[in-house]
């Protein structure tokens, strides 16, 4: 297909696709002349992925480049792809990754890098923590602090219950991860971004049902 057909198929303007090509987010098409190229279904998938990352995911071009570079790496292991995807979604930059310590065991539990309550939660849960290169723990502390400011309950029992529920969600994610590295990356990135709304709605439904059950229980007393 020509670039105009690629635009029609994906719903992304030709000018935007040309920008993706210039930024090397999208591989070039197969040249048919000095000024023309044709594109295939792989380009359709990549354009849709880039659009999902920038629109639904809110990622900037540098973050998207990290992800597509990982996708295009021929020998990338799934666990490495998962790490790149998660750290990028959590806000880590390429510069952060380059300056991170190589010795992960030495970095683990280095004093003063993680707040005491996040450290305690990580130890209770048995989480792997990379103190000098773990934006997930930083994001956790920021989210936790925001809850404190809004006076949302965040006691140990409450947080542990949340973590246990997310363990079930994460287990479902990993259990259904495709064997293909590229498809696994797509599931982790796009799935994590796009399922946020789904998880929010499911939570609200379960809150309603729990409230109804609680009210019925009180009424029968």
- On whether residue 171 sits in a domain, the answer given is no
pLDDT in tens, 1-45: 999 999 999 999 999 999 999 999 999 999 998 888 999 999 998
- On whether residue 62 sits in a domain, the answer given is no
DSSP 162-185: HHHHHHHHHHHHHHT--SSHHHHH
- On whether residue 5 sits in a domain, the answer given is yes
Q: Residue 99 has what pLDDT? A: 47
Residue 129 has pLDDT above 50, yes or no: yes
State the residue range of the domain holding 20.
Answer: 1-55
**Beta-bridge mates of residue 38:** 30
Three-state SS for 132?
Answer: coil
36: domain CATH number is 1.10.1660.10
pTM for the structure as a whole = 0.64
Count of Cβ atoms closer than 10 Å to residue 98 Cβ: 8
Q: Residue 114 has what pLDDT? A: 79
- On whether residue 38 sits in a domain, the answer given is yes
Q: Which residues of 106-145 are buried (b: 16+ CB within 10 A; e: fewer)?
A: ebbeeeebbeeebbebbeeeeeebbbebbbbbbebbeebe
- On whether residue 2 sits in a domain, the answer given is yes
- On whether residue 34 sits in a domain, the answer given is yes
pLDDT in tens, 70-122: 777 756 566 666 666 666 766 655 555 544 444 444 444 444 467 889 989 99
Check: CB of residue 190 under 8 Å from CB of residue 72: no
Q: Residue 57 has what pLDDT? A: 73
Six-digit token string for 172: 């479902």
- On whether residue 162 sits in a domain, the answer given is no
Torsion of CA 94, 194, 14, 19, to 10 degrees: -10
**Structural domains in the chain (count):** 1
- On whether residue 26 sits in a domain, the answer given is yes
């Amino acid at each position: 297909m020509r670039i105009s057909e690629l635009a029609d198929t994906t719903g992304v303007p030709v000018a935007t696709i040309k920008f993706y090509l210039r930024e090397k987010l999208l591989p070039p098409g197969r040249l048919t002349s000095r000024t023309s190229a044709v594109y295939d279904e792989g380009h359709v998938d990549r354009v849709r992925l880039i659009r999902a990352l920038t629109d639904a995911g809110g990622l900037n071009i540098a973050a998207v480049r990290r992800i597509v570079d990982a996708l295009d790496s021929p020998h990338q292991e799934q666990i490495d792809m998962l790490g790149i995807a998660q750290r990028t979604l959590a806000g880590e930059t390429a510069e952060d990754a380059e300056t991170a310590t190589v010795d992960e065991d030495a970095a683990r539990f280095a004093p003063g890098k993680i707040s005491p309550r996040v450290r305690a939660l990580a130890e209770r849960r048995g989480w792997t923590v990379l103190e000098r290169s773990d934006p997930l723990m930083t994001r956790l502390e920021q989210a936790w602090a925001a809850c404190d400011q809004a006076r949302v309950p965040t006691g140990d029992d409450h947080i542990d219950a949340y973590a246990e529920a997310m363990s079930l969600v994460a287990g479902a994610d990993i259990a259904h991860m495709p064997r293909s590295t590229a498809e696994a990356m797509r599931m982790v990135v796009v799935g994590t971004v796009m399922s946020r709304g789904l998880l929010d709605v499911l939570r609200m439904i379960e809150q309603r049902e729990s409230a109804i059950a609680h009210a019925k229980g009180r009424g029968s007393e």
